[in-house]
Chains A and B, each alone.
Chain A
């Protein structure tokens, strides 16, 4: 194995021979970098495991039987493909381009998270791992991890911040019902980033038998690329469905971003289609001019956390600052490294929506379309009206409906002053 020292500040494009070079965009490079972002910033104890995982993933990716097995479960267990639905009343309401909803909320477990979990647990089985760990914020990834662990009979421990355990009781119960152990993390601020720290501590302690299912397109290489690949089923379906329904590609794809796995899954298949605008929406919490937001790109700067270099919310000393969002799924102080890169090279646009804007969009979608969205995609919907008007009548905008809103009704009721 050759050690290469690449200056982190200098993007060097080294195409990875194991990645299919169907187009000119071939990130990450062999070191797991997206320009200066990504990489493998983990404790030395984990390095051999990360290399093993990388090799196992490459082998699985090149093995048609792995993809066939995954496709089978995605079809018959997850319920893919998910519909691309023409949202007629939202379209009328916004008065611009046609709005289409990519219905990831209709997947088993109610969100896009299961696409990734299904891929990773099949990989874990292939690697002979016998124990699963995962981190979770709102509990959606925890529920998806618990679900696939139950399906394949593997014990699963989900790390969840004590604060989130308290405010997401229904999901905690779901995970336990599915046979998983939920470990309430009291370290640090007791939210998602601390849950991820604790999962990393478990992993470094149980190196031989444990597989860590990271829930977003972040972490040390190969996670950002692997999670993106598993979530790219979303973008590939949007492409095929758009050609069938619109007879062309859409003018824009809009998705919410916490770590950004649903967005990168939707964006990646479109990166070479430069006429398609890719728009990510971060959580602006109480506003970008306040300290209470979770917009790493618009309100953070480059740093290293949880195994990768990316944009982070941090103070002058380089300590990580807690993100805030009404949506526990967007409440993360970092962002997947590929989004950091797409931001820097200008291939994707990044905007933000506040808690209040998301709450309004949440109600709008419920009333106009009969679809209660999760608070996460409600952020994306909050920016979709302006995108639709920018694109104009006759155009098409796809909004990624990444999850359903059942989990959020207590939170929303509280904000609307309704007692349940």
Chain B
């Protein structure tokens, strides 16, 4: 199980002493051209790692913003394969930035685990997050991903006690995604004081970097989380920019990328491990 790009990214950031910024964007949202413009613009706007969602008809863990993004993506004709094709396009100009594909299990089952893994590797995907595939059900998928050295990123949550954490992190690689709130994406707000000790527990249990997502919307909140975590994920706030741009009749990519820059700058402005008391 190697995760070369992910490991290299976290090693470099550790040397810099700062957290990674991970924006989440949805494949095909709102069109192929605009989604590709956003994707290729992300690294320059401050993305260290990219989370690339693929549309699914029944996104059970998502709040309204990402549900709407999935609908826009599906309307543009996007699904799992077409989203991976976007990553392939991205890779033509960027060999460094890790891409984590994120979504639900059924499209992957539908394609077949081995066929999916081969396709994902070919498109330059580094990691995979499957919201509805807990460790108990992940064996066959991991076997397929291992053959192509793609990491199945695990999720730890506020309901994960120490016993459960052991199961969650078993045999994992890359990083662990800490779901900061019990709930769906983009509704509740994460609280750095509550998140800090949880991140520490997950780090200890996994020996891996810990990314925090669900409930991080503003630069202020992103900066707070960046002090206590190894990476900060923002999704709903970004896909909402797509919606707002469409609403206002503005160009989508510049508006989304400006938001990415504001969030990325906030994450870059703080050093990991700085005490919460330093938060303004």
Contacts and interface: CB of A to CB of B under 8 A. Distances in A.
B167 A201 contact: no
Interface stretch (A15-23, A42-50, A111-119, A275-283): A42-50
B110 A204 contact: no
B108 to A, nearest CB: 7
B53 to A, nearest CB: 14
Contact of B139 (A7, A44, A45, A307): A7
Interface string A204-216: 1101000000000
Which of A40, A187, A312, A317 is the most central at the interface, judged by chain B CB atoms within 10 Å of its CB? A317
Contact of A303 (B110, B131, B187): B110
Interface residues of B, number: 53
Contacts of A356: none
A316 interface: yes
A2 B160 CA distance: 16
B74 A41 contact: no
Contacts of A317: 79-81, 107, 110
Given A4-B136, A5-B140, A305 B160 contact: no
B210 to A, nearest CB: 14
B179 A188 contact: no
Interface of A: 1, 3-9, 31, 39-49, 187-188, 193-194, 197, 200-201, 204-205, 207, 302-307, 309, 312, 314, 316-320
B26 interface: no
29 contacts: A4-B139, A9-B140, A43-B60, A43-B134, A44-B134, A44-B154, A44-B156, A44-B168, A45-B157, A45-B158, A45-B179, A45-B183, A47-B136, A47-B159, A48-B160, A187-B64, A193-B58, A197-B60, A201-B60, A201-B63, A204-B61, A204-B184, A205-B183, A205-B188, A303-B106, A306-B60, A317-B107, A319-B107, A320-B58
A201 B184 contact: yes
Contacts of A49: 159
Given A44-B154, A319-B58, 12 more contacts: A7-B140, A8-B140, A41-B105, A43-B131, A45-B158, A197-B58, A197-B60, A200-B60, A201-B61, A201-B63, A207-B159, A317-B110
Nearest 3 A/B pairs, CB to CB:
A5-B139, A318-B110, A317-B79
A316 B110 contact: yes
Interface of B: 55-61, 63-64, 67, 74, 79-81, 104-111, 131-140, 142-143, 154-161, 163-164, 167-168, 170, 179, 182-184, 187-188
Nearest to B59: A197
Contact of A314 (B106, B137, B159): B106
B104 to A, nearest CB: 8
Interface on chain A toward B: helix, strand, loop, or mixed SS? Answer: mixed
A44 B136 contact: no
Contacts of B56: 318-319
A188 B81 CA distance: 21
Contact of A6 (B132, B139, B159): B139
Nearest to A47: B134
A288 to B, nearest CB: 21
B106 A188 contact: no
Contacts of B109: 302-304, 309, 318
A44 B160 contact: yes
